[in-house]
């Protein structure tokens, strides 16, 4: 667990592109919105591994956002219900449901549909927000944290210095 957290901090401070970190956090948020246990969530999760982004940040953001998403379920349910009840889309939804694997995506569940659409709508604004936050962190907070007495003391402890070196090599 400590190595995992160390890898996140190394990635935040490394020369990797801020856009890779921002997209990882944004995808983590999107997948946290969608209830697990369906084909849609599984497909999006697999797609993430084919994209160039920081997997540690993705998994950490997925875990963190998963804790606050239940607060949004009523809004996602409302949005999904509105979309699924649109008369214009009724024919499309019926056709999709009659396809072989599509019902396993549970797109006809109001929370799944609401979460999927909310994630699509919020993806670009959240990406831009997280991109700016990563840049801000690297510019202002990272140097202050690196120069703090606590970090310098932690680096002197042999086990933590080995973990940080290992995490730095793995990224």
Instruction: Convert the pLDDT of each residue in 17-51 to its tens digit.
Output: 888 889 999 999 999 999 998 999 999 999 999 99
Structure tokens at 42: 């599984």
**pLDDT the model gives residue 138:** 82
**pLDDT the model gives residue 122:** 96
Q: Which residues have CB under 8 Å from 49's CB, separation 6+?
A: 55
Residue extents of the structural domains in the chain: 2-170
In the predicted structure, residue 10 carries a pLDDT above the cut 80: no
Q: What distance in Å separates the CA atoms of residue 3 and residue 36, rounded to the nearest whole number?
A: 26
Burial of 138 by CB count in 10 Å (0-12 exposed, 13-18 middle, 19+ buried)? middle
Q: What tens digit of pLDDT does each residue of 96-145 get?
A: 899 998 899 999 999 999 999 999 999 999 999 999 998 898 888 777 77
> Would the pTM count as exceeding 0.75?
yes
**pLDDT the model gives residue 54:** 83
In the predicted structure, residue 9 carries a pLDDT above the cut 80: no
Structure tokens at 64: 């963190």
C-beta of residue 167 within 8 angstroms of C-beta of residue 10: yes
Angle at 72 between CA 4 and CA 7, to 5 degrees: 10
Q: What tens digit of pLDDT does each residue of 59-101 get?
A: 989 999 999 999 999 999 999 999 999 999 999 999 989 999 8
Exposure string of 111-137, with b = 16+ CB inside 10 Å and e = fewer, is bbbbbbbbbeeeeeebbeebbeebeee
Q: What distance in Å separates the CA atoms of residue 24 and residue 129, rounded to the nearest whole number?
A: 13
**pLDDT the model gives residue 169:** 46
In the predicted structure, residue 161 carries a pLDDT above the cut 70: no
């Amino acid at each position: 667990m400590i190595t995992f957290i160390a890898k996140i901090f190394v990635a935040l401070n490394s020369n990797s592109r801020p856009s890779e970190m921002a997209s990882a956090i944004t995808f983590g948020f999107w997948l946290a919105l969608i209830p697990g246990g369906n084909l849609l969530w599984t497909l999006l999760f697999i797609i993430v591994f084919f994209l160039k982004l920081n997997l540690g940040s993705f998994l950490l953001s997925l875990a963190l956002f998963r804790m606050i998403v239940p607060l949004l379920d009523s809004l996602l349910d409302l949005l999904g219900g509105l979309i699924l009840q649109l008369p214009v889309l009724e024919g499309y939804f019926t056709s999709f449901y009659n396809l072989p694997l599509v019902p396993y995506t549970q797109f006809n569940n109001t929370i799944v549909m609401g979460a999927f659409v909310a994630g699509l709508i919020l993806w670009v604004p959240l990406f831009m927000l997280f991109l700016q936050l990563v840049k801000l962190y690297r510019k202002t907070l990272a140097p202050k944290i690196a120069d703090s007495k606590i970090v310098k003391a932690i680096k002197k402890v042999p086990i933590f210095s080995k973990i940080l070196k290992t995490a730095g090599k793995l990224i």
